Homo-oligomer: A and B are copies of this chain.
Amino acid sequence: MTRLLITGGAGFIGARLARTLLSRGTLAGREIEQIVLADQFAPPEDLLAERRVRALTGPLLEQCAGFATERFDGVFHLASAVSGECELDFDLGMRSNLDSTRALLDALRAAGNTPRLVFSSSVAVFGPDPGKPLADVVADDTLPAPQTSYGAQKLMCEHLITDMTRKGFIDGRAARLMTVTVRPGKPNAAASSFFSGVIREPLAGVQSVCPVDASVSHPVASPARTIEALIAVYEATREQLRGRLALNLPALNVTVQRMLDALEAVAGPKVRALVKFQRDERIAGIVANWPKGASAARANALGLTGDASFEDIVRQYIADCRARPDAHLTLKGLDS
């Protein structure tokens, strides 16, 4: 039997991870007894209705002290302020990303049972050194150089988790998520929000504005591949991780142009035509410092691979929308 905590458990990735885990029934060979979803918002109704789910709604920083006595067996730490809001409000980012993570780790250490922890780090730890171009493809062992406070905070957390694991306080690992697309719902404050918007909005029959050039290349991953990878990183033994506790998750390295070509191939030219280009200097400036692609040799060694094509990613989103009509995901663009 195993008891799990998912921080950010009501968010898109958190809720989807919870559903996947509940449907599997086991994790690392042990039956899942309970999943606690900690989030500032309540989780979706289907999860609230699950007898193995307990929802804890409130600020993570205030919840952490209570976690010491919970003695979770494992934790997926996904809660985070996103890149755009951290760039606008430095203190918010430090509190949400660094202080909350530290409070969580302190609680897990106080629990005394060395729980396993997967931390959602980010490809945003990488960036160019001043005056130097960034490697076209960032690897597991590329020297990080965050260009946003979000990336810097994620990187500091990686180092704290590595050190607390070395000390035997936790059994941690940091999975560097690629930009997850297609996210459902509304645009958010993440600078990467448009990587979902330019697909999701046209499929819903709504115009979408792309704030960067079509030539922009970026490492992306579908929600399904991302969840699969988070679970595999959790289940990997320390030996299988081979060395460092932070690793890149597999990506599909793709240009905005290729994304839109895929959208047209799957959904037709009328849908594609709903995307307009209108450069946003703030977003474009942030994105210009992001990696154009990523490799993931160590995740590959765990058997993980990136999405085969962006067409697959578009089809996955359409299938997800059809499978969950309750989630208010519309495909009006496609149906018209």
| Chain A residues packing against B (C-beta within 8 Å) | 90, 129-132, 141-143, 145-147, 149, 152-153, 155-156, 159-160, 162-163, 166-167, 169, 242-244
**Distance (Å) between the CB of A100 and the closest chain B CB?**
15
Known: A143-B143, A156-B156. A131 touches B242 (CB 8 A): yes
Contacts of A142 in B (CB 8 A): 143
A132 to B243, CA, bound (A): 8
A167 to B86, CA, bound (A): 11
Q: Is the CB of B141 within 8 A of A166?
A: no
A132 to B155, CA, bound (A): 22
Q: Is the CB of B149 within 8 A of A167?
A: yes
A152 to B162, CA, bound (A): 9
A242 to B129, CA, bound (A): 9
**Distance (Å) between the CB of A238 and the closest chain B CB?**
8
A155 to B160, CA, bound (A): 10
Residue from B145, B156, B162, B242 in contact with A160 in the complex, judged by beta carbons closer than 8 Å:
B156
**Distance (Å) between the CB of A97 and the closest chain B CB?**
11
Q: Which residue of B lies closest to A157 (CB)?
A: B156
A244 to B130, CA, bound (A): 7
Q: Which residue of B lies closest to A93 (CB)?
A: B163
Q: Is the CB of B160 within 8 A of A152?
A: yes
Known: A159-B152, A160-B152. A244 touches B146 (CB 8 A): no
**Distance (Å) between the CB of A142 and the closest chain B CB?**
8
- Those 3 A-B pairs whose CB atoms lie nearest each other, nearest first: A152-B163, A129-B243, A156-B156
A166 to B129, CA, bound (A): 12
**A132, A156, A160, A163 interface centre (most CB from chain B within 10 Å):** A163
Q: Is the CB of A244 within 8 A of B145?
A: yes
Contacts of A130 in B (CB 8 A): 242-244
Contacts of A149 in B (CB 8 A): 163, 167
A244 to B132, CA, bound (A): 10
A114 to B141, CA, bound (A): 33
Contacts of A155 in B (CB 8 A): 159
Known: A132-B243, A243-B130. A147 touches B160 (CB 8 A): no
Known: A143-B143, A159-B155, A159-B156. A244 touches B129 (CB 8 A): yes
Q: Which residue of B lies closest to A155 (CB)?
A: B159
Write 23 A-B pairs (CB below 8 A) sorted by A numbering: A129-B243, A129-B244, A130-B242, A130-B243, A130-B244, A131-B242, A131-B243, A143-B143, A145-B244, A146-B159, A146-B162, A146-B163, A147-B166, A149-B167, A152-B159, A152-B162, A152-B163, A153-B163, A155-B159, A156-B156, A156-B159, A156-B160, A159-B159
Q: Which residue of B lies closest to A125 (CB)?
A: B159
A151 to B147, CA, bound (A): 22
**Distance (Å) between the CB of A98 and the closest chain B CB?**
9
Q: Which residue of B lies closest to A238 (CB)?
A: B130
**Distance (Å) between the CB of A3 and the closest chain B CB?**
26
**Distance (Å) between the CB of A237 and the closest chain B CB?**
13
**Distance (Å) between the CB of A89 and the closest chain B CB?**
11
Contacts of A169 in B (CB 8 A): 90
